[in-house]
Amino acid sequence: MTALTLSTAAASGLRADAIVVGVAKSDKGLVVAPGAEAVDKAYDGKLASVLETLGAAGGEGEVTKLPAPSGFKAPVVLAVGLGPLPEEDEVFDAESLRRAAGVAARTLAGAKKAAFALPVEDAEDAGAVAEGALLGAYSFDAYKESAKDAKNAKAPLAEVALLGTKPRDKAYKAEIERATALGEELNRARDLINTPPNDLNPEAFAAVAQAAGKEHGIKVQVLDEKALVKGGFGGILGVGAGSAAGPRLVKLSYTSSKADKHLAFVGKGITYDSGGISLKPAGHNETMKCDMAGAAAVFAAVVTAARLKLQVNVTGWLALAENMPSGSATRPGDVLRMYSGKTVEVLNTDAEGRLVLADALAKASEEEPDAIIDVATLTGAMVLALGSRTYGIMSNDEAFRTEIHEIAEEVGEPAWPMPLPSHLRKGMDSATADIANMGERMGGGLVAGLFLQEFVGEGITWAHLDVAGPAFNEGGPFGYTPKGGTGSAVRTLVRLAERTAAGELG
Ligand code: BES
Ligand code: ZN
Ligand code: ZN
Q: Would you say the CB of residue 271 lies under 6 angstroms from ligand 1?
A: no
Q: Would you say the CB of residue 444 lies under 6 angstroms from ligand 1?
A: yes
Last residue of a domain, which of 100, 129, 163? 163
Q: Count the helix, strand and coil residues of the chain and give each as a percent rounded to the nearest 5.
A: 35, 20, 40
**Which atom of ligand 1 is found nearest the CA of 445?**
21
Looking at 308-397, list the stretches that DSSP marks H as alpha helix, in order from N- to C-terminal side.
353-365, 380-386
Torsion of CA 200, 205, 211, 213, to 10 degrees: 150
378 CA to centre of ligand 1 in angstroms:
6
Q: Would you say the CB of residue 469 lies under 6 angstroms from ligand 1?
A: no
How many Å apart are CA 172 and CA 27, to the nearest integer?
A: 33
Atom 13, ligand 1: which residue's CA is nearest? 350
Kindly report the backbone phi and psi dihedral angles of residue 472, in degrees, each rounded to the nearest multiple of 5, phi listed first.
-135, 120
* Whether residue 99 sits in one domain with residue 30: yes
DSSP E strands in 27-112: the ranges are: 29-32, 63-67, 76-84
* Whether residue 234 sits in one domain with residue 141: no
**497 contacts 312 by C-beta, under 8 angstroms:** yes
Atom 5, ligand 1: which residue's CA is nearest? 380
* Whether residue 94 sits in one domain with residue 229: no
Tens of pLDDT along 186-230? 999 999 999 999 999 999 999 999 999 999 999 999 999 999 999
pLDDT of residue 359: 99
* Whether residue 145 sits in one domain with residue 21: yes
pLDDT of residue 79: 98
- pLDDT band of residue 89 (cuts 50, 70, 90) is confident
- Per-residue H/E/C for 121-171: CCHHHHHHHHHHHHHHCCCCCCCCHHHHCCCCCCCCCCEEEEECCCCCCHH
Query: Whole-number mean pLDDT of the chain?
Result: 97
* Whether residue 195 sits in one domain with residue 322: yes
pLDDT of residue 154: 84
Kindly state whether residue 224 falls inside one of the protein's structural domains.
yes
How many Å apart are CA 82 and CA 105, to the nearest integer?
A: 14
How many Å apart are CA 374 and CA 189, to the nearest integer?
A: 16
* Whether residue 214 sits in one domain with residue 92: no
Atom 3, ligand 1: which residue's CA is nearest? 379
Q: Would you say the CB of residue 352 lies under 6 angstroms from ligand 1?
A: yes
pLDDT of residue 51: 98
pLDDT of residue 506: 67
Q: Would you say the CB of residue 379 lies under 6 angstroms from ligand 1?
A: yes
Tens of pLDDT along 120-179? 999 999 999 999 999 999 999 999 988 776 656 689 999 999 999 999 999 999 999 999
Instruction: Identify any residues that bridge with 373 across adjacent strands, giving them in sequence order.
Output: 265, 463
**Which atom of ligand 1 is found nearest the CA of 353?**
11
* Ion ligand 3: protein residues whose beta carbon lies under 5 Å: 270, 273, 291, 353
Kindly state whether residue 506 falls inside one of the protein's structural domains.
no
423 class by beta-carbon count within 10 Å (0-12 exposed, 13-18 middle, 19+ buried): exposed
| Ligand (nearest to CA of 286) | 1
Last residue of a domain, which of 99, 131, 163? 163
Q: For residue 402, how many C-alpha atoms fall within 13 Å in the half-sphere facing its CB?
A: 5
How many Å apart are CA 143 and CA 151, to the nearest integer?
A: 17
437 CA to centre of ligand 1 in angstroms:
12
DSSP type of residue 330? P
388 class by beta-carbon count within 10 Å (0-12 exposed, 13-18 middle, 19+ buried): middle
Query: Vertex 226, ends 276 and 266: CA angle to 5°?
Result: 65
Q: Would you say the CB of residue 383 lies under 6 angstroms from ligand 1?
A: yes
Query: Vertex 187, ends 183 and 191: CA angle to 5°?
Result: 170
Kindly report the backbone phi and psi dihedral angles of residue 224, in degrees, each rounded to the nearest multiple of 5, phi listed first.
-90, -175
pLDDT of residue 151: 59
Query: Vertex 487, ends 379 and 260: CA angle to 5°?
Result: 95
Atom 22, ligand 1: which residue's CA is nearest? 380
Q: Would you say the CB of residue 273 lies under 6 angstroms from ligand 1?
A: yes
pLDDT of residue 176: 98
- Per-residue H/E/C for 65-80: EEECCCCCCCCEEEEE
* Whether residue 216 sits in one domain with residue 98: no
Domain span including residue 472: 183-501
85 CA to centre of ligand 3 in angstroms:
42
How many Å apart are CA 444 and CA 383, to the nearest integer?
A: 10
Q: Give, for ligand 1, the residue of 379, 435, 437, 442 to mutate: max count of ligand atoms closer than 8 Å to Cβ.
A: 379
For the residues 248-259, what does the mean pLDDT come to?
98
Kindly state whether residue 49 falls inside one of the protein's structural domains.
yes
Q: Would you say the CB of residue 125 lies under 6 angstroms from ligand 1?
A: no
Last residue of a domain, which of 113, 131, 163? 163
Atom 16, ligand 1: which residue's CA is nearest? 351
* Whether residue 311 sits in one domain with residue 397: yes
* Whether residue 365 sits in one domain with residue 482: yes
Domain count along the chain = 2
* Whether residue 404 sits in one domain with residue 288: yes
Kindly state whether residue 171 falls inside one of the protein's structural domains.
no
User: Which listed residue (188, 354, 401, 495) is catalytic?
Assistant: 354
67 class by beta-carbon count within 10 Å (0-12 exposed, 13-18 middle, 19+ buried): exposed
Sequence-separated (6 or more) residues with CB below 8 Å from residue 63: 78, 79, 80, 81, 103, 104, 107
Q: What's the sign of the alpha-carbon dihedral 367, 369, 375, 378?
A: positive
For the residues 251-270, what does the mean pLDDT come to?
98
pLDDT of residue 49: 97
pLDDT of residue 249: 99
Q: Would you say the CB of residue 353 lies under 6 angstroms from ligand 1?
A: yes
Does 354 participate in catalysis according to the annotation? yes
DSSP type of residue 280? P
Kindly state whether residue 299 falls inside one of the protein's structural domains.
yes
70 CA to centre of ligand 2 in angstroms:
59
- Euclidean distance between the first and final Cα of the chain, in Å? 36
Kindly state whether residue 97 falls inside one of the protein's structural domains.
yes
- pLDDT band of residue 505 (cuts 50, 70, 90) is confident
User: Which listed residue (261, 280, 389, 499) is catalytic?
Assistant: 280
User: Can you tell me whether residue 50 is helix, strand or coil?
Assistant: helix
| Ligand (nearest to CA of 436) | 1
User: Can you tell me whether residue 64 is helix, strand or coil?
Assistant: strand
Tens of pLDDT along 276-304? 999 999 999 999 999 999 999 999 999 99
Kindly state whether residue 62 falls inside one of the protein's structural domains.
yes
Question: If we measure between CA atoms, which residue out of 168, 188, 183, 189 comes closest to residue 3?
Answer: 183
* Whether residue 449 sits in one domain with residue 480: yes
Q: Would you say the CB of residue 357 lies under 6 angstroms from ligand 1?
A: no
Percent of the chain clearing pLDDT 90 (strictly above): 97
Kindly state whether residue 178 falls inside one of the protein's structural domains.
no
Q: Would you say the CB of residue 348 lies under 6 angstroms from ligand 1?
A: yes
Q: What is the CATH number of the domain that holds 116?
A: 3.40.220.10
Atom 8, ligand 1: which residue's CA is nearest? 468
Question: How distant is the alpha carbon of residue 16 from its chain centre?
Answer: 30
**Which atom of ligand 1 is found nearest the CA of 378?**
3
**Which atom of ligand 1 is found nearest the CA of 348?**
18
* Whether residue 440 sits in one domain with residue 304: yes
Q: What is the CATH number of the domain that holds 435?
A: 3.40.630.10
